[in-house]
């Protein structure tokens, strides 16, 4: 890139001396401009791009110092040099104060002036490089700020699912990176929001949109301006995390939850329950969340209510955590092949055993609980132990009971083998979901009730919805619609039954509703589909 130089002097001979007395061809100056006073210099600078100003100081009307002030205000990227015949200290002092690049006295050797101009160009290059870096940083910083809520939510999802360590020394740098107003030793109050029922039978996309609306409402009503985050799980469950809660916030949370439930029912047409945990450290948070999940899973009677992890439930959770683990979670992680998450959970479990100086009885309790879960997992999939553990690795657990370290290593090995087998042979669906799918097929002609399906497998309806979607990738509503339409297509193509009777046989009392749903999925009305497919089979 070439540069433009503006020479400002009220003496014509001085300007001509600089323009014609110096060979500019071997410099990076592409064009020279001339001005005989400050006013003319300003006009040129407003019209042209000027990189360097070489100005006299003592000029009539307006001197070089005044011109420099104007340049700093209007053209801050321009570098200014003074060339004067007056060695006035006050001028030099003002020039330095106003960030003049150099102050040269006449007469000056032309080689020295060219050298000074070259240094000024070097400064301009450095300034532009710095500005480029700053602009690039600013651009990415802005993008980061825009993406920060998503990144923070992803952080909490990873932390909840044991994809991140819980040790304070490893956690604190991550908290700092995301600029969370929370120390690794700080406290968090968690609230689980379980959406139990929508008033409408939403599709998967509609549920996502409405869940997003509930999430925003939770941020407004439950955080209530306090520092925290609302984290949405892929299964639709919401966690509200309030950072460093005060005593007043803890007392108010129950009331906030009741208001939140009422507002969601009135405005967002959904029924939900809130499960409130008492404040905990980050290291305790994951086990506290599991306690809330167990409360929610076992709630089969009180919908649209507020629950708390009172002392009794916490004592039960604490007692069981000493000798056992979260069976349902580990079983599902084995099914999904989540080896990293399993590894973190195993380590957390055994770290707790080590801290509590667990005795042989507790180790044996863990071992037999683990084996019970493992054989249930195999039985659900009609697998023999030799299918997954061909060398009898599962039998090495009992000898490993001699120490926490040995049992930890064996548990890691067995879980890794099981998860690897699950990934290699396909995840499939659990026996519970198979039972629900069979129930839906057998009751295809009836009005479907998520509550009845959940009752059939002894689960909380909201928990069943999440589990079904996690294992099949479809909502209960979408899956049922597919079943009904598959049966309707079969009947339309192979029988002469009245279309209204077919609609009733697959659970649609309203013919118009059936026709609309059928066309949305197939692109044809039931009549068009019958004509097309019966003609093909003739």
Complete DSSP assignment for 149-202: HHHHHHHHHHHHTTSS---HHHHHHHHHHTT-S--TT-EEEEEEEEEEEESS--
410 three-state secondary structure: helix
Fold of 435-537: Arc Repressor Mutant, subunit A (1.10.10)
Residue range 467-483: average pLDDT? 84
Taking the C-alpha atoms of residue 357 and residue 345, their distance in angstroms, rounded to an integer, is 18
533 three-state secondary structure: helix
Length of the chain (residues): 538
Residue range 39-44: average pLDDT? 94
Q: Over 50: is that where the pLDDT of 510 sits?
A: yes
**Distances 155 to 23, 152, 175, 339 between C-alpha atoms, Å:** 62, 5, 9, 19
Token pair 């479809």: residue? 474
Whole-number CA gyration radius for the chain: 37
Q: Over 60: is that where the pLDDT of 128 sits?
A: yes
Taking the C-alpha atoms of residue 246 and residue 242, their distance in angstroms, rounded to an integer, is 10
Q: Over 60: is that where the pLDDT of 537 sits?
A: no
Per-residue confidence band for 89, with pLDDT thresholds at 50, 70 and 90: low
Which one is predicted more confidently, 101 or 204? 101
Taking the C-alpha atoms of residue 26 and residue 330, their distance in angstroms, rounded to an integer, is 75
pLDDT at 328: 54
Which tokens hold the place of 370? 């683990």
pLDDT at 261: 95
pLDDT at 140: 81
pLDDT per residue as tens digits for the range 224-253: 889 999 999 877 789 999 999 988 888 899
Per-residue confidence band for 86, with pLDDT thresholds at 50, 70 and 90: low
CATH 3.30.70.270 fits 183-321, yes or no: yes
Which tokens hold the place of 388? 């997954």
**Residue-averaged pLDDT of the chain:** 84
Q: Which residues contact 21 (CB under 8 A, 6 or more apart)?
A: 110
Q: In terms of DSSP bridges, do strands 102-105 and 187-198 run parallel, antiparallel, or are they unpaired?
A: unpaired
3-129 and 183-321 in the same fold: no
Residue range 108-122: average pLDDT? 89
Beta-carbon count within 10 A of 107 CB: 10
Which tokens hold the place of 260? 């939140």
pLDDT at 339: 79
pLDDT per residue as tens digits for the range 181-215: 999 999 999 999 998 888 776 677 788 888 899 99
Per-residue confidence band for 323, with pLDDT thresholds at 50, 70 and 90: very low
pLDDT at 426: 57
What single DSSP character describes residue 443?
T
Which one is predicted more confidently, 366 or 44? 44
Q: Over 50: is that where the pLDDT of 87 sits?
A: yes
Q: Over 90: is that where the pLDDT of 95 sits?
A: no
pLDDT per residue as tens digits for the range 266-289: 998 888 999 999 999 998 898 889
pLDDT at 294: 83
Compute the Cα dihedral for 253, 259, 261, 267 and give only its sign.
negative
pLDDT at 326: 54
Burial code (b: 16+ CB inside 10 Å, e: under 16) for 234-252 equals: eebbbbbbbbbbeeebeee
- The kind and range of the H/E element at 270 are strand 270-276
Q: Over 70: is that where the pLDDT of 315 sits?
A: no
Report the first-to-last Cα separation within the chain, whole angstroms. Answer: 79
Which tokens hold the place of 129? 């490089």
Taking the C-alpha atoms of residue 239 and residue 440, their distance in angstroms, rounded to an integer, is 30
pLDDT at 41: 94
Taking the C-alpha atoms of residue 285 and residue 293, their distance in angstroms, rounded to an integer, is 12
Taking the C-alpha atoms of residue 242 and residue 180, their distance in angstroms, rounded to an integer, is 12
Per-residue confidence band for 172, with pLDDT thresholds at 50, 70 and 90: very high
pLDDT at 427: 52
Strand extents, DSSP E, 65-147: 79-84, 102-105
Which tokens hold the place of 40? 């003319």
CATH class of residue range 3-129 = alpha beta
- Contact indicator for 195, 211 with CB cutoff of 8 Å: yes
The domain spans of the chain are 3-129, 183-321, 324-428, 435-537
pLDDT per residue as tens digits for the range 382-413: 778 888 898 888 888 888 887 888 888 999 99
Q: In terms of DSSP bridges, do strands 280-281 and 187-198 run parallel, antiparallel, or are they unpaired?
A: antiparallel
């Amino acid at each position: 890139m070439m540069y433009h130089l503006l020479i400002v002097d009220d003496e014509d001979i001085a300007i001509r001396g600089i323009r014609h007395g110096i060979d500019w061809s071997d410099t990076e100056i592409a064009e020279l401009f001339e001005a005989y006073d400050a006013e003319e210099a300003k006009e040129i600078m407003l019209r042209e791009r000027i990189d360097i100003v070489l100005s006299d100081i003592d000029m009539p009307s307006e001197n070089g110092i005044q011109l420099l002030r104007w340049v700093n205000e209007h053209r801050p990227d321009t570098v200014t040099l003074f060339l004067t015949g007056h060695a006035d200290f006050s001028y030099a002092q003002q020039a330095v104060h106003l960030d003049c690049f150099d102050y040269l006295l006449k007469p000056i050797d032309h080689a020295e002036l060219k050298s000074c101009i070259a240094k000024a160009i070097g400064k301009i290059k450095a300034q532009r490089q710095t500005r480029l870096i700053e602009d690039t940083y600013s651009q990415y910083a802005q993008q980061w700020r825009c993406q920060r809520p998503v990144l923070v939510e992803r952080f909490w999802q990873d932390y909840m699912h044991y994809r991140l360590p819980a040790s304070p020394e490893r956690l604190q740098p991550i908290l700092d990176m995301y600029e969370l107003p929370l120390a690794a030793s700080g406290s968090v109050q968690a609230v689980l929001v379980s959406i139990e029922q929508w008033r409408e039978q939403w599709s998967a996309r509609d549920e996502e949109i409405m869940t997003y609306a509930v999430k925003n409402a939770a941020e407004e009503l439950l955080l209530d301006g306090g520092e925290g985050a609302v984290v949405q799980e892929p299964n639709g469950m919401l966690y509200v995390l309030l950072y460093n809660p005060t005593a007043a916030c803890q007392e108010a949370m129950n009331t906030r939850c009741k208001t939140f439930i009422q507002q969601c029912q009135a405005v967002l047409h959904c029924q939900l329950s809130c499960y409130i945990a008492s404040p905990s450290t980050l290291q305790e948070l994951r086990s506290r969340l599991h306690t809330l999940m167990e409360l929610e899973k076992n709630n089969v009677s009180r919908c649209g209510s507020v629950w708390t992890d009172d002392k009794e439930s916490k004592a039960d959770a604490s007692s069981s955590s000493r000798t056992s683990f979260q069976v349902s979670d580990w079983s599902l992680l084995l099914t999904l092949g989540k080896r990293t998450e399993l590894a973190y959970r195993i380590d957390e479990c055994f770290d707790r055993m080590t801290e509590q100086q667990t005795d042989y009885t507790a180790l044996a309790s863990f071992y037999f609980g683990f084996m019970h879960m493992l054989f249930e997992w195999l039985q659900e999939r009609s697998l023999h132990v030799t299918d997954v553990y061909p060398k009898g690795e599962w039998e090495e657990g009992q000898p490993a009971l001699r120490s926490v370290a040995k049992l930890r290593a064996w548990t890691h090995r067995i879980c890794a083998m099981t998860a690897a087998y699950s990934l290699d042979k396909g995840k499939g669906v659990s026996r519970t979901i198979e039972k629900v799918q069979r129930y839906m097929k057998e009751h295809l002609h009836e009005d479907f009730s998520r509550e009845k399906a959940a009752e059939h497998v002894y689960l909380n309806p909201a928990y069943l919805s999440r589990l079904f979607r996690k294992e099949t990738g479809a909502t209960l509503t979408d899956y049922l619609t597919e079943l009904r339409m598959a049966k309707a297509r079969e009947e339309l193509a192979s029988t002469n039954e009245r279309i209204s009777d077919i609609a009733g046989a697959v659970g649609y009392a309203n013919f118009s509703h059936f026709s609309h749903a059928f066309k949305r999925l197939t692109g044809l009305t039931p009549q068009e589909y019958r004509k097309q497919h019966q003609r093909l089979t003739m």
